[in-house]
Structure 1
Amino acid sequence: MVAMKEFLSSLLLIISWFIFAVSAYLLYCTIIMPMLAIIPLLISFVIGFLCFYLSRKLDDRRKNY
């Protein structure tokens, strides 16, 4: 009976660590990864607005000579 309690205790410990690992992975996917995705998104927005600004600045049709 003692061996069964030790086995059950070990099994519950392994399951608890597995649940902890899954929850840590889900936390990483839902919080950390979107924050890492903001950097390329901001870079693409800045480059897009810079290209738009330069396009408007270089457009000769807007200027009245």
Structure 2
Amino acid sequence: MPIYRFNCEKCDTSFEKIVKMGTTETTCECGETAGKDYAGSMLFSSTGLPNGHNSIRSKIRGN
């Protein structure tokens, strides 16, 4: 599961939380709904390896 950054407008708090992919809202410690901060969220590549590691991937696959 990815780590996303959320922002709570009520208490002006920003925090990270591990949630299911596609989650857009979660509950803040203050009890209010916090929305996903799309600018601060992490992105993952589809292969599980960071971009630019094609040489490692080809060595693992034997290509």
TM-score of the superposed pair, with normalisation by structure 1: 0.25
Q: Kindly indicate which of the two structures has a greater share of residues assigned to helix.
A: 1
Structure (1 or 2) with the greater strand fraction = 2
